[in-house]
Amino acid sequence: MANQIQFELASPHKMAVKKPVVMASVPGSMGRFGVLTGHAPVASEVMAGIVELYENDNSTVTDRFFVTGGFCEVIEDRCTVMADKVYRLEDLNRAEIEETIKDLLAQADAAEGDEVRETIRGLIDIERAKLFAAA
């Protein structure tokens, strides 16, 4: 189809999806942005959040993935997201995420040093974003 772009979503461990889509919605560092055919070239940091794909039109989401952050590049008719980690939304388990948050909070309380605590708080923020996505 002429109005499609090639979309790729990968992590260091696997290619999560590679297919033509009508639109991709990406959680960028300056806010969520949509990519359609003919989009201007963009390079953006990707924040923890949901990537949505629209295969047939730009009003019906066909795939949703949670990413923990990364980088997005848009050129001509291609959108590539290199994510730190990728999860299918249906694979997110609320109980497991809540348990991970509890564990991380305990680690933050016991941590020595501000740098370690800040690193753990960053992990907690990602887990909270996952919990929101799983809702």
Residues 44 and 82 in one domain: yes
Statement to judge: residues 116 and 71 lie in one domain: no
Strand runs labelled E in 1-135: 5-10, 15-21, 23-28, 31-35, 42-46, 49-54, 63-67, 70-75, 78-83, 86-88
Average confidence (pLDDT) over 60-74: 94
Check whether residue 14 and residue 49 sit in a common domain.
yes
10 and 61 co-located in one domain: yes
**Helix extents (H) in 2-134:** 94-110, 114-134
Distant-in-sequence, close-in-space partners of 35: CB < 8 Å, separation ≥ 6: 5, 7, 23, 24, 25, 26, 42, 74, 79
Q: How many domains does the chain have?
A: 2
* Residue 127: burial class (beta carbons within 10 Å; 0-12, 13-18, 19+): buried
Identify whether residues 58 and 14 lie together within a single domain.
yes
Tell me the per-residue pLDDT of 94-115, one tens digit each, with 9 for 90 and over: 999 999 999 999 999 888 888 9
- Reported as a single tens digit per residue, the pLDDT across 27-57 is 998 899 999 888 899 999 999 999 999 998 7
pLDDT band at 129 (very low <50, low <70, confident <90, very high): very high
Q: What is the pLDDT of residue 128?
A: 93
Give Cα 40 to chain centroid, integer Å.
21
Does 106 lie in the same domain as 68?
no
| pLDDT recorded at residue 1 | 54
Note down the domain range covering 58: 5-89
* Residues 36 and 73 occupy one common structural domain: yes
Any idea what the CATH number is for the domain that residue 80 is in?
2.60.15.10
Residues 52, 15, single domain; the answer is yes
Report pLDDT digits (tens) over 7-33: 999 999 899 999 999 999 999 988 999
